Amino acid sequence: MGRWEPGARERLVVAAVDLFAEQGYDATTVAQIAERAGVTKSTFFRHFPDKRELLVAGQETLSQLLAEGIAEAPATASPLEAIASGLRRASTALGPMNRELAPRLKAAVAASAELQARDALKSVGLADAMATALAARGVTGATAALASELGVLAFKRGFAKWSESDRDADAAEFLLTALKELRAASADLG
């Protein structure tokens, strides 16, 4: 096992998702994840406090990119236009590994109540990042909350469609299409 081999974090995520899919979240140990990734248990704990946190690897980066994109939107942008800017920026963090792992991760989350709870907390964190960025633009209260929740829903729906798509397209296209569809659907609410 290479002590300082590059890519350990990514290998740990891939190993964990594979093991969660193969034998279930509860039956998977940190030692098994570390062994499959070709690292030591102590290397695992340098990257993650526990196996639950593997699910949200990259959440901090994603939240930061969403907030930066919202902040960089033109001053005249509506709250949803700012959200679109955030989604566009966040899509830059989505690559082949995300797309490859998505179906296995989805299955692992569906099979574990603990992972479902952690996934819900991830959504709350993303919404909070977007609402905070909107508030910094002067968007307040219910408007910021609703726009950020639509942003999370657009991210989740767009990501799912992107990861299931057989065509080689930029994730931004799927995220922005999902936001557009949700915006249109909200008009039907009356």
Q: Which own/partner contact pairs does 13-20 have at CB distance under 8 Å and 24+ positions apart?
A: 13/54, 13/57, 13/97, 13/101, 14/97, 14/101, 16/51, 16/54, 17/54, 17/101, 17/104, 17/105, 17/108, 18/104, 20/104, 20/105, 20/108, 20/111, 20/112, 20/115
The mean pLDDT value of the chain amounts to: 91
* pLDDT tens readout for residues 155-179: 999 999 999 998 778 999 999 999 9
Name the residue with higher pLDDT: 151 or 50. 151
Spatial separation of the C-alpha atoms in residues 38 and 34, rounded to whole Å: 6
The CATH 1.10.357.10 domain(s) of the chain lie at 58-187
Task: Give how far Cα 8 sits from Cα of 29, 36, 105, Å.
Answer: 17, 11, 19
Residue 168 burial class via C-beta count within 10 angstroms: exposed 0-12, middle 13-18, buried 19 and up: exposed
pTM value is 0.86
Look at residue 185 and tell me whether its pLDDT is greater than 80.
yes
Fold of 58-187: Tetracycline Repressor; domain 2 (1.10.357)
* pLDDT tens readout for residues 100-158: 888 888 888 888 888 888 889 889 999 999 999 999 999 999 999 999 999 999 999 99
From 1.10.10.60, 3.40.50.300, 2.30.22.10, 3.30.360.10, which CATH number describes the 8-54 domain?
1.10.10.60
The CATH 1.10.10.60 domain(s) of the chain lie at 8-54
> Of the candidates 60, 35, 46, which has an alpha carbon nearest to the alpha carbon of residue 4?
46
